[in-house]
Amino acid sequence: MLARELAVRGSVEDAIASYDAQRRPATNDVVLANREGGPDQCLEIVERRAPDGFVDVEAVIGRDELEAIASRYGRTAGRPSARCGAPASWPRAGAS
């Protein structure tokens, strides 16, 4: 994204300003999501529900709940896939 801005803007300063204007809102959303739990939310839920430990984590937090948390966080972080750990897609060079 920065490389594209550098290619199309008249100056480095304009390119960085444009890049910042595009990326800052998404970055802020990710920072706020991390403050509200982010990926660690799963660990906090398990600790709260099973403070004395557990044998089977799925008895404490189900796969559907984990997927829902990962999906919400993934959308905030800009990952197109709802599956935690799925590879992000990257645009091809020259693609819009």
- Domain annotation covers residue 88: no
* 49 lies in the same domain as 77: yes
Residue 75 confidence (pLDDT): 75
Residue of 70, 76, 37, 43 lying closest to 57 (CA atoms):
43
Q: 19 with 45, same domain?
A: no
Classify residue 12: in a domain, yes or no: yes
Burial (0-12, 13-18, 19+ Cβ within 10 Å), 75: middle
Average pLDDT, the chain: 79
Residue 51 lies in a domain: yes
- The whole-model pTM stands at 0.49
The domain in which residue 78 lies consists of: 36-82
Torsion of the alpha carbons at 38, 79, 25 and 45, rounded to the nearest 10:
-10
- The tens digit of pLDDT for each residue in 14-33 reads 999 999 999 998 888 878 87
Same domain as 20, residue 42: no
95 falls within a domain: no
How many structural domains is the chain composed of? Answer: 2
